[in-house]
Amino acid sequence: MSYTNFTFDIDIDGIALVTWDMPDRSMNVFTEAAMLELNAIVDKVASDASIKGAVITSGKDSFSGGADITMLQKMLSKFAADKAKDLDKATKVLFDNAGYMTGLFRKLETSGKPWVSAINGTCMGGAFELSLACHGRVAANSDKVKMALPEVKIGIFPGAGGTQRVPRLTDQQQALQMLTSGQALSPQRAKSMGLIHEIAEPTKLVETAKAMIKNGLKPVAPWDEKGFKLPGGPVYSVAGANLWPPAIAILRRETYGNYPAAAAILKCVYEGLLVPFDTGLRIEQRYFTEIMQTREAAAMIRSLFVSLQELNKGARRPAGMPETKFKKIGVLGAGFMGAGIAYVTAKAGIPVVLLDRDMEAAAKGKAHSDSLISDQVRKGRAKPEDKDRLLSLITPTADYADLAGCDLVVEAVFEDSGVKKDATEKAEAVLKPAAVFASNTSTIPITSLAKNSVRPKNFIGIHFFSPVDKMMLVEIILGKKTGDKALATAIDFVRAIKKTPIVVNDTRGFYVNRCVLRYMSEAYKMLIEGVPAPMIENAAKAAGMPVGPLALTDETAIDLAQKIMKQTMRDLGEKAVDPKQMALINTLVDTHGRFGRKNGKGFYDYPQKPAKKKLWPGLKDLYGQLPPERVDYEELKQRLLVTIALEAARVIEEGIVTDPREADVGSILAFGFAPFTGGVLSYIDGIGAKKFVKIAKGLQKKYGAEFKAPKLLLDMAEKGETFYQRFDPYARSEAKKAA
């Protein structure tokens, strides 16, 4: 029998080699077709007496990315369509579908023939669950090999036996840490945990796997043998008593109850270890079916997997534009931002010219890259030769003539229109006509900066976030005259340096900063009202934000907030900024010299390490403090999320962001907007426009005009629409194709 997704060969020793190599895909994934074929292969191996066992490996550089998440989306869509007719029947269908992979892997595990997984590269999710169901596991000794069960990161959990096999192979503490964090394991780490048996050199991987079968590998999983004992001891033991109560408390502390899948993992492991293995699988399947029905799972799968992948693949790239292969890139300004841009460019293997006013400043910028890559080498995440290669690609200079031949120049000089004008003119004087010029600005509209250019069609904004090496989002800003070539080149660059691009039309603050400033502003308002600072910060974290608004202001600098406020007042008038908030910031900066983390004094005090930062005690003396019992804590959480969501809705209404995928993914990657909601627009869609508008009106009545819902939301509430219905990105894509 021939297969589409696998090849099947039997050697002279009677060992079958099953090679997973899906056509027209860069990575193997579990689709319905792939699972049906694997099911047939398991039957073939089990029923053919001449076959002694089987090795499964990959014909690609990676082993597999796991389940095709779009398959899960189809399951959810079918459930959503069917549940209105018959909820019980729809749930049963979802339960059965969710259990297919579980059944397949258990069938392999109990087939009576030994199976060995030969892991040659990335092995994620369902693929690692398949490997765990095999009787032997061998991983290649390579940096390319990473094994993980990362499903919790997209709102679900390992539902094909992962929560049952991992804690039966390693101790419960390590199992819980791996399952609830989605952490990736190296071959060495996986072996030390007991999750794989051997590590082999890549060229001997399959040979080593076959040797396990030849040497008498038992075709029985440990938990199917009589007398099996859990590696870390039973749940009801001294060790269990010391583990489970703290584990539950830690999960609550880390997630604030916002991630149902993480809580379900603890339930699956705890309950599953108290019963026979097959009953444990049934428990897991029931919880998986329950989690698949949650709002969090649907939203996180869409934004953090499907939409993120689509944007990373260039969903917003203009059609028909040839892809740019970068031979040389220029960065103007070797300060912290420019140096970071140079680093990620060189890390992508692209030669970069790093220019500043003199060689000393340019060399200092290159030294930043030296520091970053040296740290990676120290931590074992890079090799000395990687460092040499990266640094060889960065050329520091003070001479604009060295920019000749650049395909793209990214300007990251001081945030001043005059300085940017000078840099633009000097760079364009030596650039080839087809080169693209990009400005990394966070506040100045691109259209106004493009007036300094002799070729505004090739002028675009590329807004990085700090620190560049860690932040995954990049805003690409279109000026009024920016052409498709410039947009395509900018997207190609962002993809080349492995960041996620979102496309934004020109406006003050663009998209991300407009939302972030609302978040900070609401916190200032709360302080002025007398809300204790710890309650503000804790409410933000409980709402799902990774960093409280006061801590975030410190990170970006309070004196920068002051500059932005003053510039806004100059540009838009005195009423554009709340005078009470301006007074708060002025007091911190001018009276107390508190600039933020950069000078060790802001809303927080930053003592010498290892001491942790703590809120500045003087904050409570600035305004009369409300007794905590008089503060509505749930309302604080609501205010912080709703004010951001309303600003995002205004941005959509104004046509600044036109694709809801970009608004959602951008809000999570840039400032960590409550990931469990799926992003800022999914947050509104999840609540429902009608209910959200009602919430906003209630807050507007109590706290002011910043909670006024835009006309777009009022219209959506009246029509019962969601953002993904009204601004369906796929309908637009199909329309473009048809045109």
pLDDT digits (tens, 9 = 90+) for 142-200: 989 999 999 999 999 999 999 999 999 999 999 999 999 999 999 999 999 999 999 99
Rounded to the nearest integer, the mean pLDDT of the chain is 94
Give a yes or no: residue 163 inside a domain.
Answer: yes
Average pLDDT of span 564-584: 89
Residue 124 is assigned to a structural domain of this protein: yes
Q: Is the pLDDT of residue 82 over 90?
A: no
Shared domain check, 288 and 382? no
In a domain, 627, yes or no: yes
Q: What is the mean pLDDT of residues 578-605?
A: 94
String of b and e for 544-560 (b: at least 16 CB within 10 Å)?
bbebbbbbbbbebbbbb
pLDDT class of 69 with cuts at 50, 70, 90: confident
Tokens read off for 497: 């340096």
Q: How far is CA 68 from CA 65, 73, 75, 145, 489, in A?
A: 8, 9, 11, 20, 30
**Same domain, yes or no: 174 and 198:** yes
Residues 339 and 358 in one domain: yes
Give the domain extent around 561. 513-726
Query: Which of 462, 493, 508 corresponds to the end of one domain?
Result: 508
Q: How many domains does the chain have?
A: 3
Last residue of a domain, one of 508, 524, 539: 508
Are 125 and 241 in a shared domain? yes
CATH of the domain at 381: 3.40.50.720
The pLDDT tens digits for 277-288 are 999 999 999 999
Mean pLDDT of 607-616: 90
User: Do 55 and 132 fall into the same domain?
Assistant: yes
Sequence-distant (6+) residues with CB within 8 A of 694 are none
Over residues 626-676, the pLDDT tens digits come to 999 999 999 999 999 999 999 999 999 999 999 999 999 999 999 999 999
The pLDDT confidence band at residue 735, using thresholds 50, 70 and 90, is low
pLDDT at 442: 76
Print burial letters for 213-227: b (CB count within 10 Å at least 16), e (below 16). Answer: beeebebebbbeeee
pLDDT at 736 over 60: no
For range 111-131, the mean pLDDT = 97
Q: Is 249 contained in some domain?
A: yes
> Based on the domain organization, do 706 and 651 belong to the same domain?
yes
Both 32 and 148 in one domain: the answer is yes
Identify whether residues 488 and 632 lie together within a single domain: no
Q: How confident is the model at residue 609 (pLDDT cuts 50, 70, 90)?
A: confident
In this structure, the answer to whether residues 489 and 637 fall within a common structural domain is no
Q: Are residues 357 and 383 in the same domain?
A: yes
In this predicted structure, the answer to whether residue 737 has a pLDDT above a threshold of 70 is no
Nearest to 386 by CA among 346, 327, 339: 346
CB atoms within 10 A of CB 21: 15
pLDDT over 90, % of the chain: 86
pLDDT of residue 733: 59
Which residues on adjacent β-strands are paired with residue 437? 409, 459
Q: Reply yes or no on whether the pLDDT at 475 is more than 90.
A: yes
pLDDT in tens, 295-338: 999 999 999 999 999 999 999 999 999 999 999 999 999 999 99
**Residue 469 pLDDT class (50, 70, 90 cuts):** very high
User: pTM of the prediction?
Assistant: 0.92
Residues 446, 370 within the same domain: yes
State the CATH number of the domain containing residue 246.
Answer: 3.90.226.10
- Domain assignment present for 235: yes
Which of 328, 334, 406 has its CA nearest to residue 366?
334
Residue 395 has pLDDT above 70, yes or no: yes
Q: Which residues contact 395 (CB under 8 A, 6 or more apart)?
A: 351, 352, 353, 354, 402
Active site residue: 197, 368, 463, 592, which one? Answer: 463
Any domain includes 318: no
DSSP-derived 3-state class of residue 497: coil
Whether 463 is catalytic is yes
pLDDT tens digits, 412-441:
998 778 889 999 999 999 999 999 999 998
Q: In the predicted model, is pLDDT for residue 381 greater than 90?
A: no
Q: Tell me, yes or no, whether 277 and 422 share the same domain.
A: no
> Per the domain annotation, does 300 fall within a domain?
no
Averaged pLDDT for residues 576-591: 94
Looking up tokens 């007042």 gives 569
Domain boundary among 240, 266, 293: 293
Chain segment 480-534, per-residue pLDDT in tens: 999 999 999 999 999 999 999 999 998 877 899 899 999 999 999 999 999 999 9
Given this model, what pLDDT does residue 732 score?
65
CATH of the domain at 567: 1.10.1040.50
- pLDDT, position 19: 97
Could you tell me if residue 322 is inside a domain? no
How sure is the predictor about 734, in pLDDT bands with cuts at 50, 70 and 90?
Answer: low
Tokens 């051997």 correspond to: 198
pLDDT in tens, 190-236: 999 999 999 999 999 999 999 999 999 999 999 999 999 999 899 99
